[in-house]
Amino acid sequence: MGGPRRLLLISNSTLHGGGYLGHCQQHIQRFLGQQVKRVLFIPYALHDRDAYARTAREKFESLGGGNTFRLLKALYDNSLIHEIRKRVLEDGIPYMGSSAGTNVATVSINTTNDMPIVYPPSLQALGLVPFNINPHYLDPDIKTTHMGETREERIRQYHEEPNTPPVLGLREGTMLLVEGDKATLQGVTGARLFLRGKKPTEHEPGTDFSFLLTDCNPLNP
């Protein structure tokens, strides 16, 4: 039996005005520590996997970005759902992802921003945490004339369905660090928490979200 689960779930790999992972480089270094000598990179979120892997190897760039539907489908196609869950939840292998890699770490990919360019056998994901995340969360722009739905409206629609878990909207520049039964918001921007039947709430970096790990149960993929 390994140690407790350790996850670093990043909203985005690039923040305006900075380089690749510049906004979270120190967080990554602390998360991996000196004992991690090798990183398994899963390049399934983009079509050209070889080029994606080379980019990640050379620049340690994305750590799980790309299209969420493509990534989850490949995880199912390669029978990796159960294996990754076991390695992370039972063996204590650290898991780190951004954007799509963060989406697939949650209960399901129902709250992704991506287009369904491929069709995975299920929308249920790895279930490493018992809630959903909306990476790249954007606040409504009161000055815009755009008539499309906001992220908040879409999440509210999701919560119109029964038995839907909480959704944590991670703004760009924000990440969630999970260590065992403790979850802490980190980064340079805040997050918005959506609970079914309740008004969304604002949270600053440093917020303790540990209650999200204990108040609801993950769906088994």
* Residue 169 near residue 146, CB atoms below 8 Å: no
114 assigned to active site: yes
Marked catalytic residue, from 13, 108, 114, 159: 114
210 assigned to active site: no
Marked catalytic residue, from 13, 23, 98, 136: 136
Marked catalytic residue, from 11, 13, 99, 108: 99
Q: What is the CA radius of gyration of the chain?
A: 16
Residue 117's alpha-carbon distances to 11, 18, 60, 69, 200, in angstroms, are 21, 29, 26, 7, 30
136 assigned to active site: yes
* Three-state secondary-structure class, residue 183: strand
6/77 Cα distance (integer angstroms): 25
Residues that are catalytic: 99, 114, 136
